[in-house]
Amino acid sequence: MLTRLDRAEAGVGVTVGLGALELASYERDPTPEGFAEVEALLRRALSRAPLEGHALAGLVLLHSGRRAGALAAGPDSLARQLCSEHAERSRDAALAASCAAVFFAEAQPDRGRALYRRATEARPGYHAAWLTWGDDELAAGNHAIAARRYQSAADSPYPSMRYAALLGLGVTRERAGDRAGAERAYREASESLSTESTPPPPHEWPEELLYNLGALLSESDDWARRAKGFALLDAYLQLVPGLDDARVLRARQLTVEFQRGCEVASDQTGAHLCARVGASPAPPADAP
């Protein structure tokens, strides 16, 4: 591990690399100290190489309010200034992609698309850019475009990137009314969570996948799919005890509706599935 003295004396490339690592850590766990550390590293690199594209891109991301891949707050004045000054003149793909997201957030989607296009043409395998492009098109309600961008991102060899892309694809298809396509994407997302031949058990899935697929299946007319949805939502609720946000309330509502359906289930299939997932079915109609 580099000491602070080592960091201060490191070259531009190493400093930018350290800044990228600290930025990834900050996005996962944003703290004022983390922000200051990233800012110091990237500004140190830019003091030696003012047009270093990756350092500019990192500074834009830092000041765009991104948290773990999501735009949690709008870009601040520095992010807007850097993109206005450098994005359309720089040939750096990372800077183009970072500023594309800023322009989408600033209600300038045409400028954003032009920069995403430049970034992905320069680096066709730039899966992170395809992913954020999909996120931005989804937020803008452009489902067909978003789906294509997520599909490009899903070609990534990295499981975490592939998972995020497939999750986004599932959300996109669901919002577009393609429930079958959404289910396929969510199931593929679950398979991407493991390098083994079978996906991990549902209790090891991320919260958002448990909720999304569970809610989707719970609204089916098919007993088997509803039972599977109930099991997923039950696992989801065990991961988020004590919360009362909209998703938790919706999950509780769907599980209660399923249990009420089990209370009046009179066919053998429904009764069996209710018992299998721990709900309480009524006795079959032909029971003595």
Q: What is the pLDDT of the chain when averaged over all its residues?
A: 85
Kindly tell me if the per-residue pLDDT of 68 is higher than 50.
Answer: no
As a whole number of angstroms, the distance between CA 102 and CA 62 comes to: 11
As a whole number of angstroms, the distance between CA 199 and CA 184 comes to: 14
Beta-carbon contacts of residue 149 (< 8 Å; ≥ 6 apart): 130, 131, 133, 134, 137
Kindly tell me if the per-residue pLDDT of 284 is higher than 50.
Answer: no
Kindly tell me if the per-residue pLDDT of 286 is higher than 50.
Answer: no
Find the angle CA(194)-CA(238)-CA(154) to the nearest 5 degrees: 30
Domain ranges, ordered by start, for the chain: 207-288
Residue position matching structure tokens 């996109």: 172
Greater pLDDT, 19 or 112: 112
Kindly tell me if the per-residue pLDDT of 248 is higher than 80.
Answer: yes
As a whole number of angstroms, the distance between CA 87 and CA 214 comes to: 41
pLDDT tens track for 147-202:
999 999 999 999 999 999 999 999 999 999 999 999 999 999 999 998 777 778 88
